[in-house]
Amino acid sequence: MLRIEKVEITLGSFRLSADMTLEQGRKYAVIGPSGAGKSTLLGALGGFVPLTAGRLVWQGQDITQAAPGARPMTMLFQDNNLFPHLSVTQNVGLGINPDMRLSAEDRSRVTQALERVGLSAYADKRPGALSGGQQGRVALARVLVQARPLLLLDEPFAALGPALRNEMLDLVQDLVAETGAALIMVTHAPDDVRRIADEVIFVAGGVAEAPQPAAALMDNPPPELRDYLG
Ligand SMILES: Nc1ncnc2c1ncn2[C@@H]1O[C@H](COP(=O)(O)OP(=O)(O)OP(=O)(O)O)[C@@H](O)[C@H]1O
């Protein structure tokens, strides 16, 4: 369980507050208008954006000051953060050890993760030789080997077409079910919310609201969410 305790974030004239609890094994969609602070919230959870007040508490331990790599989360960005000069295997291996010294057991975990996302045949290729969807799957294989309890996704599949996007969402859904991780995903697509989320964190007017059950909220949105959904 992650407590986001009376958190305040200030970036120039922009302010965002959040106070909520995220449960293990749940899938949260973060939605709201452009510029509302969705990426900022994820950045704060991941340790890339400092808090001006409040605490982050993971399983009873204060992680507010912890460096990104020491937090219980993996973050996947829209560009997938793949290194073009490294092979698919090496890109996934970075998830286990950034200096790429891997034990035989580590290497077998990389092989298994590539099998899991259907990319065994591409292990020695460079990312540039892969399609956008395949690159997304390399990034997901890296998430798999990291095996952290919280997965943060910031509009990861926005550049993909609808069929591929759904395929990736289903894969993410399977992976978090297999690993027991909680998923916190920024998206602009109501279809994504319906497809994957248990709960919705609505960000608007300087506040990231506490999670609400997704299906009920999307079926009967309050006025400000209805304005956003259009
Ligand atoms: N480093 C920064 N310094 C000052 N202001 C910033 C900084 N980073 C972000 N902001 C501001 O914070 C606000 C929230 O930005 P953020 O990217 O979190 O919104 P978002 O909800 O993710 O938007 P979008 O849906 O368009 O991606 C914006 O007004 C942005 O201009």
SS3 180: coil
Ligand 1 centroid – CA 36 distance (Å): 7
- Domain end call among 93, 124, 147: 147
Residue 124 lies in a domain: yes
Residues 128 and 118 in one domain: yes
- Which amino acid residue places its CA nearest to atom 8 of ligand 1? 11
SS3 17: strand
Q: ipTM of the assembly?
A: 0.95
The number of folded domains in the chain is 2
pLDDT of residue 203: 96
Residues 135 and 171 in one domain: no
Residue 11 lies in a domain: no
Residues 171 and 109 in one domain: no
Terminal Cα distance for the chain, rounded:
33
- Domain end call among 147, 181, 199: 147
CA distances from 5 to 8, 52, 134, 181, 196 (A): 9, 12, 38, 21, 26
The pTM of the whole model exceeds 0.80: yes
What is the pLDDT tens value at each position of the chain, 230 positions in all? 999 999 999 999 999 999 999 999 999 999 999 999 999 999 999 999 999 999 999 999 999 999 998 999 998 877 778 999 999 999 999 989 888 889 999 999 999 999 999 999 999 999 999 988 899 899 999 988 988 999 999 988 887 888 888 888 898 999 899 889 999 999 988 888 998 999 999 999 999 999 999 999 888 888 888 888 87
**37 CB under 6 A from ligand 1?**
yes
Residues 36 and 107 in one domain: no
Residue 219: give the domain boundaries. Answer: 21-50+67-72+149-230
The CA angle 30-135-24, to the nearest 5 degrees, is 35
Query: Which atom of ligand 1 is closest in space to residue 186's alpha carbon?
Result: 22
Residues 86 and 108 in one domain: yes
Compute CA 120 distance to the chain's CA centroid, rounded to the nearest angstrom: 24
